[in-house]
Chains A and B, each alone.
Chain A
Amino acid sequence: MPKIVVCMKQALDVAEIKIDSATRRPITAGVPRKISDFDKNALEEAIKLKERLGAEVSVVTVGPEEARMALREALAMGADRAYLLSDSAFEGSDTLTISYILSEAIKKLGGFDLILCGEASIDSFSAQVGPRLAERLNIPQITYVRKLSLDGDTVVAERSLEDCYETMKAKTPVLITVTREINEPRIPSLMAIMKASKKEITVWNAEQLKVPNEKVGEAGSAVRIIEVVAPKVERKRIVIKAETVKELAETLAKAIIKEGVVGR
């Protein structure tokens, strides 16, 4: 039975972030977190493979205790096992250290055939953790996948690049990052949610993962954030109004032409 590991991030719900108008800083305190959208697609794809081939699906996340919520949701969607990698030493991790923590946890899980990740996270959008993890585990990766199949030890995946769709083949174990196009994540039934609430969530800390403190969290991270501010929006905000649609269109057309952005 193929073993599939899905990596998830409990990301900030970016739609809920407000900007402090005085400092122009985003207010992240109190912003709800949710499973990063693309990671849900990764999980859905794993569950589909499970339904088709009878795979075993484990979900792994690095985060504080609150990340249990995300794991419960994943179990309700159909994951078999859930692992929370949690330690105060992990705080302030960048992609270098997150991929390290994940790789050590995945090694501890034992063998795997497929690792699925979202193409990027909705809050940070770096698209690095997947390929970095593949590198640490020394396995091939196929990124930006929109169609996936697994047959024995062969993975066939169609990836979406800027100028083409590329169909790739690889032998397992392999890491795949998926796009939103690949599927429509299911919404778990009430029954499934109830059942999931009884499932166990395994928690591993730094010591259990045997990761030294200097290689994780802020101490082990290469990238430091200096400042985060809202971009300046300098727009004219001119309201075009008129009695009739025709007049409105003419006013707008003249304004556009006057801007010198079209035509002669």
Chain B
Amino acid sequence: MRDVGEHRGVWVFSENRDLMLELLGKGSELANKLRAELAAVLLGCNVKSWAKELIGYGANKVYVVDHPLLKAFRAEPYASALTHLAQQYKPEVLLIGSTKRGKELASRVATRLETGCVPDCIQLGVDEKGELWMSRVVYGGNAIATEVCRTKPQIATVPPRVFEKPEYKEGEGEVIEAQFKLEEPRTEVVEVKEIEAARVKIEEARVVVAGGRGVQKKEDFQILEELAQVLGGQVGYTRPLAEDRKWFTEWIGLSGHKVKPALYIACGISGVIQHIAGIRDSQIIVGINEDPEAPIFEVADYRVVGDLYEVVPALSAALKKLLTGG
């Protein structure tokens, strides 16, 4: 028998509802293999009504901490609620949604519980000895590291859209309400500026047409926009355009948005590993670059050596013709 001490059960938590459901999907598979229960942690204010739905998505138990201090996500009260729960009910595995807030929370909770945390897992499993293993991208996208955690709970953070949301089924489960004295937040939110909705959704676009250093002027993105429009997709950028040229405030890559569209068209993108790490899971990658040695071609399904200023408009025209049957 594997030694888990008194720690039992797989727990999932995310402040992001879609991600919480994705975690329940993966968590259920892990719980089966570990022959343990699956529990969701629900933190918030007046959120109890959501517990039933979480049970429908696979949770055997839902731990609820309902408290006014948990109304909006703040590091201190959330970390104290999750830590108290984990100390009282002792899960073996804790999966936390890897949003920026979730990562901050996971690091704080792992430190309070004096345990390890494997961040941004793209795969998780249980080996023949019943040990949890966790895989993540390291070295700027050059390698995948598989890690284990020898302390309990074993904490992993999981990014959005890595795992599928499970099917909803009416089911039975237990709801456990807990009350703790929570820490007050020690930071104050002064202002919140929403980022344009269209920009937020690049992860969900089926087609992404992205431009890199090969695009000479910001206005020239018009030709990429046109191609994106023909394909019903969105335009993306590389980090140098955002950070060096200051044209945009976000980018696709390891440190920015990670995308996995059905089609990714890289226009004038050399393809440094940090960028590749953000597009690796795309179904089909097309590379358009003047330099035949550009590393983007190493990961491209279709390689076009040529000037994007000629190829992209011609491609838009050709696709338009084929797609509209003209």
Contact = CB atoms under 8 A, between A and B. Distances in A.
27 contacts: A14-B141, A17-B143, A25-B143, A96-B110, A96-B114, A99-B111, A123-B140, A125-B254, A127-B107, A131-B107, A135-B112, A139-B186, A140-B187, A161-B101, A164-B194, A167-B189, A167-B193, A170-B187, A224-B148, A228-B144, A248-B306, A252-B286, A252-B315, A253-B322, A259-B263, A262-B233, A264-B323
Contact of A262 (B150, B195, B263): B263
A222 B306 CA distance: 50
A255 interface: yes
Interface residues of B, number: 90
Interface in A224-264: 224-231, 233, 235-241, 245-246, 248-250, 252-257, 259, 261-264
A107 interface: no
B145 interface: yes
A81 interface: no
A101 B20 CA distance: 34
A131 B150 contact: no
Given A132-B107, A141-B75, A238-B301, A222 B151 contact: yes
Contacts of A168: 187-190
A252 B322 CA distance: 11
Residue among B112, B255, B298 with the most chain A CB within 10 A?
B255
A123 to B, nearest CB: 6
Given A140-B76, A161-B100, A169-B187, 15 more contacts: A125-B254, A126-B120, A128-B119, A132-B107, A167-B193, A168-B187, A169-B188, A223-B149, A226-B133, A240-B302, A240-B303, A248-B311, A253-B318, A254-B322, A263-B322
Given A14-B140, A26-B142, A222-B150, A96 B115 contact: yes
A132 B110 contact: yes
Contacts, number: 263
Contacts of B115: 96, 222
A246 B195 CA distance: 38
Given A165-B192, A237-B297, A226 B147 contact: yes
A263 B255 CA distance: 31
A208 interface: no
B180 to A, nearest CB: 17
B147 A167 contact: no
B243 A180 contact: yes
A19 B304 CA distance: 25
Nearest to B200: A163
Contact of A123 (B139, B298, B322): B139
B190 A249 contact: no
Interface residues of A, number: 85
A117 B237 CA distance: 26
B118 interface: yes
B305 to A, nearest CB: 8
Contacts of B232: 262-263
B188 A19 contact: no
B8 interface: no
Given A123-B138, A264-B323, A250 B188 contact: no
Contacts of B249: 160, 181
A120 interface: yes
A227 B143 CA distance: 10
Interface string A1-13: 0000000000010
B112 A262 contact: no
B117 interface: yes
A229 B147 CA distance: 12
Interface in B261-318: 262-263, 272-274, 280, 283-286, 297-306, 310-311, 314-315, 317-318
A39 to B, nearest CB: 13
Contacts of A174: 187
The binding surface of chain B is classed by DSSP as mixed
A162 interface: yes
Interface in B51-86: 75-76, 79
Interface of B: 75-76, 79, 99-101, 103-104, 106-108, 110-112, 114-120, 133, 137-151, 185-195, 200, 206-207, 231-233, 239, 242-243, 249, 254-255, 262-263, 272-274, 280, 283-286, 297-306, 310-311, 314-315, 317-319, 321-323
A258 B117 CA distance: 43
Nearest to B116: A222
Contacts of B147: 223-226
B196 to A, nearest CB: 10
A216 B232 CA distance: 53
A191 interface: no
B117 A128 contact: yes
A226 B148 contact: yes
A240 B263 CA distance: 16
B284 A261 contact: yes
Contact of A249 (B103, B110, B254, B311): B311
A132 to B, nearest CB: 5
A116 interface: no
B283 A261 contact: yes
A142 interface: yes
Contacts of B148: 223-224, 226
